[in-house]
Amino acid sequence: MGIDPDDFLAVDELLDADARTVRDTVRAYARAELAPHVSDWYDGGGLPVEAAKELAKLGLFGMHLTGYGCAGLPATAYGVACRELEAVDSGLRSFMSAHGSLAMSAIHRHGSEEQREKWLPGMAAGELIGCFGLTEPDAGSDPGSLRTTAVRTGGEWVVSGSKMWITNGTFADVAVIWAKVADPDGPDHGRIRGFLVPTDTPGFTARKIERKLSLRASVTAELALDEVRVPGDAVLPGALGLSGPLTCLNEARFGILWGAVGAARSCYLEALRHTTTRTQFGRPLASFQLVQAKLAQMVVAVNGAALTAVHLGRLKDAGTLQPEQISFGKLANVRAAADVARIARSLLGGAGITLDHTVMRHMNNLETVMTYEGTEEMHVLSIARSITGLSAFR
């Protein structure tokens, strides 16, 4: 039957029926409803919340969670959805990831039954949007040094501090805010806890971060909490210490390692189309050896990343996936995607720098994907620690 240039190693033959259905549904919707507009969203510097909420109709929000209106699909099916969204733009996957894998996952994993019932059905339906506030201006790779505090006052918590680089921050309805408990007489003094903060609470403000050069089709915000008062039951009871937010970050990183495959695939396919149809020196560009070498290099990178994603998805569905293996996937797949995007940009020549094509947009986006949910350096050190037994940081 020959080899399919879109899927050189027939990686999708490894997907089960659920994942293939998700692939076909999300791919068709993303290409028809999102791709025609994403360049304008990128150029304008944001994703319309109405467009984002349309994703709920596909059942994508919290699709890997069970109950409360969530689809309860396998992790691999969720990964495929991330891949197909990021094939259009990283900002689309980032929106779904921050809402579903961070905010919804935090409530689902660490929340009380009352909190789950209150928030998750509306979030799954797209009626409520969530964001996840961990990173701060002075606490990025070292979240344990965050300065946001929560003080118990009577039957309330008073939360004060600031958060930075928060996806969905300006249109979220609820923010999962991670803060250090400041209660010298209490058992949790100095420990990091999670709090559910409705964004219409007095003292809560969100400011859109402007002038971004990457991930522009995604709304990123700075959050300020000025003595924000929330009820005593706003705290997530199952999250004690830094392990609470880190478990959520691993969910998001899993989606990223899949999403990077989509971005890489899109760049490779656009370069393939361009070089097989554009003629120079009386021949298609793809007929020259140097061009063919670059195309082959991209095929190897895309399919290697795709295989990594499927394997890690299977490990996650089996319940054996380790955080260091997620670090491996994010590090390897984002690096591969960034390399493919740069090669593709070079093959498109001058046309590659415009928004009439996808490659420069993907290339810029991947610079951010390389950094968020753990920088390259932190993932390298995480992998090295797991194989040496020695930590190079705290």
pLDDT in tens, 317-332: 999 999 999 999 999 9
pLDDT tens, residue by residue, 235-294: 999 999 999 999 999 999 999 999 999 999 999 999 999 999 999 999 999 999 999 999
pLDDT tens, residue by residue, 82-125: 999 999 999 999 999 999 999 999 999 999 999 999 999 999 99
160 strand-pairing partners = 149
Q: What is the pLDDT, as a whole number, of residue 57?
A: 85
Please state, in angstroms and rounded to a whole number, the distance separating the CA atoms of residues 149 and 311.
40
Q: What is the pLDDT, as a whole number, of residue 54?
A: 84
Query: How far is the CA of 183 from the CAs of 157, 176, 186, 189, 249, in angstroms?
Result: 11, 20, 5, 5, 27
Q: What is the pLDDT, as a whole number, of residue 348?
A: 97
pLDDT band at 393 (very low <50, low <70, confident <90, very high): confident
Mean pLDDT of 124-131: 95
Res 394 pLDDT > 80: no
pLDDT tens, residue by residue, 214-243: 999 999 999 999 999 999 999 999 999 999
* Contacts of the segment 8-11: beta carbons below 8 A, 24+ positions apart: 8/299, 8/302, 8/303, 9/303, 9/306, 9/307, 11/303, 11/306, 11/307, 11/310
pLDDT tens, residue by residue, 51-86: 877 888 889 999 999 999 999 999 999 999 999 999
pTM of the model: 0.95
Q: What is the pLDDT, as a whole number, of residue 188?
A: 85
Please state, in angstroms and rounded to a whole number, the distance separating the CA atoms of residues 129 and 134.
17
385 strand-pairing partners = none
Asked if 172 and 122 touch (Cβ cutoff 8 Å), the reply is no
Per the prediction, the chain carries an average pLDDT of: 95
pLDDT band at 190 (very low <50, low <70, confident <90, very high): confident
Q: Catalytic residue among 367, 373, 376, 377, which? A: 373
Res 369 pLDDT > 90: yes
Domains within the chain, CATH numbers bracketed: 11-129 (1.10.540.10), 131-240 (2.40.110.10), 244-388 (1.20.140.10)
Please state, in angstroms and rounded to a whole number, the distance separating the CA atoms of residues 340 and 25.
26
Tokens of 267: 């760049």
127 is catalytic: no
Res 1 pLDDT > 70: no
Please state, in angstroms and rounded to a whole number, the distance separating the CA atoms of residues 390 and 282.
58
Percentage of residues in the chain having pLDDT higher than 70? 99
Residue type, 192: I
